[in-house]
Amino acid sequence: MIQYIIKRLLQTIPVLIGVSIIVFAIMRVFSPDPAPIVLGQHATIEATEAWREAHGLNEPIIQQYFTYMGNALQGDLGTSYYTKQPVTQEIFSRFPATVELAIAAILFASFFGILIGTISAVKKNSIFDNLGMLLALIGVSLPIFWLGIMMIIFFSGTLGILPSGGRLNPLLQPDHVTGFYIIDALLSGDMAALKDAIHHLILPAVALGMYSMAIIARMTRSSMLETLEQDYIRTARAKGISEKSVIIKHGLRNALIPIVTVIGLQLGSLLGGAVLTETVFSWPGIGSYTVNCILKSDFPVVQGVVLLIATIFVFMNLIVDIIYAFLDPRIKYSKKGD
Amino acid sequence: MRKHMKLVSMVLLVAMCVFCLAGCGGNKQQQEAAPAAGEAKLSDTLVFAQGAEPRGLDPALVDDGESAKVMANIYEGLVKYAPDSTDILPCLAKSWEISEDGLTYTFKLQEGVLFHDGTPFNAEAVKFNIDRQLPPLVTEDMGYAGFVFGSVDNVEVVDEYTVKINLKSPSTPFMANLAMALGAPIVSPTALQNNDNNVNQAPCGTGPYKFVSWSPSENVVLERNENYWGTPAKTQNIIFRFIADNSARVVALTNGEVDMIDGIDATVVDQIKAGQMTVDNIEGMTINYLAYNTQSPVVADKEVRKALSQAVNVPELVASLYQGYASEATTILPSFMPGYSAEVKQVGYDPEAAKAVLEAKGITEIHVITYTNPRPYNTANGQTLAEAIQGYWSKVGVTAKIDAYDWSTYKEKVKTGDYDVCFYGCNGDNGDPDNFMNLLCDPDPTMNVARYNNPEFNALIAQGVATANGEERNALYAQMEKIVAEDCVWLPISHAQVLSAYNPLVDGYYYHKTAVVFFSEMSKPAK
């Protein structure tokens, strides 16, 4: 197992190098020159040239890449061209917001996805099944930004029960410990901040989790249908085990492997920043921030974020694979030749 | 194994319970939370929502309007703009004298003013701030240093509260530059020294509000400066929230989460009014125009340009595209700016005459480039505008071939000069007429997109810069407007209105023409 994990970790290195080369090349080849964007409309041609020189943009791309990677390996991802703040600081001041939202969304999606999928499978072809799958179809098809705006108009505008956006009332800000407001509020025992943070989280988490919920519901349904037709389920029923126990302990548990894969991959992509959701709900995460940086040709930030997202995605895959072993004892990560 | 399953199930269940409880209790909690917070703090707080985050809060290091709105409440300059125009009033300088030759500006400073860090404001502070934006200290990322202080030769401290600024050559726009929210505001020298000459994250000025916190991508919080030298601000806290989505910003206003919003366009005005909110529209310091490339063989002939302009019904175009939220531009300068002249006339709408000339000159095709993004001076975006004009030209037998690009790419295309007609605009910086008119003599083709080069006009620009404010100077700009109108270099289209909206409970709402908003006079009754 340990060897397997080490092997997988080593495999991430070429993946990350590949990603870094691609993003580096794309930004430099296709993005507009950052100098006029950074220096503004009144910059002189000499100032623009001096800035490019100072930021190494006149060097050959390959040399720029090696300089960048050399610094990156030492933990220096550079400084944002636009705000002049260190990239690591820019990313990590926004990343907790993205993580908090992604986790809330995946919890929502997993709970309802598995619930709907299981009911649909157990009550196959019933009204529940049809309704559940209709909901899944809607979840897959609805554009997030439209759903988000409709939710804002209805829940914030018409009903006025939930805030339209943002992460917290700034006057209720708990002491900064982890950057996760729910945890920070709990740690400082500030119930008003906790309530406010949860209120702000509901709409974006539901909007963001809707698609994942639909995917998970579909996967649960098909996996459960397959499992429920297995011989051991018939055996379990024949032994007189209660239906609830058959479905949950024998059915769901065995059906869980593909579902966990989907949940893991969905979480990976949600952590990559939910650009549209973050924009619509003014959620201060890295998704919307990165898009702004792409538009401003802020190379160091975009490179840093893409590397971070790629790393997260690779690790989510790894974690999913490891969880398999816990869920299904039949899976073993054996050494080659065993 | 069972343990793991149970653990996973429990975590999911608890999380969902928290969600559901929070959701079900939403209404009640919200109603409870608001008054509780209101009694403690909210009556002392105004919330302003803008579309984007400031770039930073060091006036020398940023160039964007979103930063300017926040900084205008933290910092002050030597002078400031009058509330409803761009006339100059005293601020940190209580009086000034300009030498006969226009080269020496002597300012008498307010006494007893403290920066937010407790250090005194004095002539040394003024010198420190200007010197950091002059060679040899200026850095290339000080976007407005050249614009604001480019004419300055040196700064002398005469005594603690008198400072003398010597210019290299007379520059009348210099006074207007000193009122700007970018470049000109005075920062605490101590704060700059303590922060490596960059107070983007730790702003420290003399203004009515001082900086409290900045949550990235989320909000900036300011609080009242209790030691302010002038009339203290009425409201204790100001929160700037960043809400990128237009619809979400409008909902945040109408459901009471925020008190004021800006960055809106005509499409949401009805929704705002239906929500019982007040829309504020002021004529903006902008010009939206069509420019003929005077270097292009197709439109090098003045008669051709005139005919093409005559084919466009500008009043009808402006009314239909901007739904009443932009006024027809009959001049380059907006009507509130010095130098504006009502006597200037652009060519009128005359499609018959246009058709005859264009036929005679054999003009059948025009290459147009434009931008696809909405701009502050053209909320309808350049492509929509170009297509509308394409329609007018097709009626006089001219086919316009339009290439539209996103803004960044567009600017690169403009640089190449490969077009007959392009669309552009200008957001004024300092309220001085030179700011608009010198676009037509700028050697940089991305500024002077018409690539106009008229020695007579250029001489007038130089004369305008050196002439003191007054009737004589205004007449020079009127003359420049006439030359440009006569030469049909631009077809001025519209002056956009600056739209913002606020809760009618807010008293003293003040959104300036320079697109900054001042909060010190604003208040909202406690609930």
The full set of domains in chain A, from first to last, is 98-295 (1.10.3720.10)
pLDDT for B57: 96
Amino acid symbol at A234: R
- How much is the average pLDDT of A311-330? 78
The mean per-residue pLDDT over the stretch A294-314 comes to 88
Helix (H) or strand (E) run with residue B280 in it: strand B278-283
Domain boundaries, chain B: 45-239, 286-498
Q: pLDDT at residue A78 above 60? A: yes
| Least trusted range by pLDDT, from A231-235, A272-276, B23-27 | B23-27
Tell me if A164 and B33 make a contact (CB, 8 A cut-off): no
Return d(Cα B248, Cα A282) in angstroms, integer. Answer: 8
Average pLDDT over residues B376-389: 92
Question: Which pLDDT score is estimated for B106?
Answer: 97
pLDDT at position A314: 84
pLDDT in the model for residue A230: 87
| pLDDT for res B501 | 95
Least confident of A125-139, B25-39, B435-449: B25-39
Q: Cα(A23)–Cα(B267) distance, rounded to whole angstroms?
A: 37
Judged by DSSP in three states, B74 sits in helix
Our CA angle for A142, A144, A146, nearest 5°, is 80
Q: Do B147 and A42 touch (CB under 8 A)?
A: yes
Can you tell me the mean pLDDT for B116-145? Answer: 94
Mean pLDDT of chain A: 87
A245 touches chain B (CB under 8 A): no
Residue B39's pLDDT band, with cuts at 50, 70 and 90, is: very low
pLDDT digits (tens, 9 = 90+) for B328-380: 999 999 998 889 999 999 999 999 999 999 999 999 999 999 998 888 899 88
Strand B365-371 and strand B421-427: the pairing is parallel
Cα–Cα–Cα angle for B511, B337, B102, nearest 5°? 115
pLDDT average, residue stretch B127-137: 95
Average pLDDT in chain B: 89
Is the pLDDT at B143 greater than 90? The verdict is no
What are A144-179's pLDDT values in tens digits? 889 999 999 899 988 989 998 899 888 888 888 888
Region B106-128 average pLDDT: 97
Instruction: Count Cα neighbours of A121 within 13 Å in the Cβ-side half-sphere.
Output: 25
Q: Top-level CATH class of B286-498?
A: alpha beta
Residue A308, pLDDT score: 87
Burial annotation B224-244 (CB, 10 A radius, 16+ → b, else e): bbeebbeeebbbbbbbbbbbb
B218 to chain A: which residues are within 8 Å by CB? 97, 166-168, 170, 282, 284
Say what the pLDDT of residue A287 is. Answer: 87
Q: Which residues of chain B does A172 touch, with a Cβ-Cβ cutoff of 8 Å?
A: 37
Residues 202-221 (B) with a CB less than 8 A from some CB of A = 213, 215-219, 221
**B169 interface with A at CB cutoff 8 Å:** no
- The burial class, CB within 10 Å (0-12 / 13-18 / 19+), for A29 is exposed
Residue of higher predicted confidence among B153 and A326: B153
Q: What is the pLDDT averaged over residues B44-54?
A: 92
pLDDT of B37 over the 50 cut: no
Query: CA B175, CA B468: separation in Å to the nearest integer?
Result: 11
The answer to whether A238 faces chain B, any CB pair under 8 Å, is no
Whether the pLDDT of residue B3 is over 60: the answer is no
Chain A residues with CB-CB distance to B147 below 8 A: 42
Nearest to B517 by CA among B201, B218, B239, B202: B239
Is a pLDDT exceeding 60 seen at residue B19? no
Is A299 in the B-facing interface, judged by CB distances under 8 Å? no
Residue of A nearest to B200 (CA): A83
Model confidence band, residue B63 (pLDDT cutoffs 50, 70, 90): confident
B406-427 pLDDT, tens digit each: 887 888 889 889 999 999 999 8
CA-to-CA dists, residue A73 to A16, A67, A254, A286, B481, angstroms: 12, 10, 42, 22, 58
DSSP result, A296-331: TT-HHHHHHHHHHHHHHHHHHHHHHHHHHHHH-TT-
Q: What pLDDT sits at residue A254?
A: 84
pLDDT at A333: 57
Residue A250 pLDDT more than 50?
yes
Kindly state the average pLDDT of the residues B13-24: 42
Q: For residue B80, which amino acid is it?
A: K
CATH placement of domain B45-239: 3.40.190.10
Q: Does residue B319 surpass a pLDDT of 90?
A: yes
Instruction: Name residues whose C-beta falls within 8 Å of residue B192's C-beta, 6 or more positions apart in sequence.
Output: B128, B132, B198, B199
Domains B45-239 and B286-498 share a fold: no
pLDDT band at A338 (very low <50, low <70, confident <90, very high): very low
- Look at residue B9 and tell me whether its pLDDT is greater than 90: no
Q: Are A162 and B30 within 8 A, CB to CB?
A: yes
Q: Which residue has the higher pLDDT, A64 or B8?
A: A64
* A33, burial (CB in 10 Å: exposed 0-12, middle 13-18, buried 19+): middle
pLDDT tier at B292, thresholds 50, 70, 90: very high
pLDDT at A273 over 70: no
- Other CB atoms within 10 A of residue A156 CB: 23
Q: Could you tell me which residue, B473 or B3, shows the higher pLDDT?
A: B473
User: In this complex, is the C-beta atom of A102 within 8 Å of any C-beta atom belonging to chain B?
Assistant: no
Cα–Cα separations (whole angstroms), residue A310 to A268, A323, B475: 9, 20, 62
- Note which residues in 169-188 of chain A have CB less than 8 A from chain B: 169-173
Of B422, B433, B402, which is closest to residue B489 (Cα–Cα)?
A: B422
Helix, strand and coil content of chain B, in percent to the nearest 5, comes to 35, 20, 45
The interface pTM score, or ipTM, of the predicted complex is 0.82
- List the single residue in A37, A84, A295 with the smallest CB-CB distance to B198: A84
Q: Which pLDDT belongs to residue B456?
A: 95
B399 touching A, CB under 8 A? no
Choose, out of A42, A85, A172, the residue to mutate when testing the contact with B (most B CBs < 10 Å).
A42
Global pTM reads 0.84
pLDDT of residue B20: 39
Q: What is the pLDDT of residues A220-248, one digit of tens each?
A: 999 999 988 888 888 888 888 888 888 88
Per-residue confidence at A332, pLDDT binned at 50, 70, 90? low
pLDDT at A334: 54
Which residues contact residue A51 at a Cβ distance below 8 angstroms, ignoring those fewer than 6 apart? A35, A38, A39, A43, B140, B141
Q: What is the pLDDT of residue A331?
A: 66
Q: How confident is the model at residue B208 (pLDDT cuts 50, 70, 90)?
A: very high
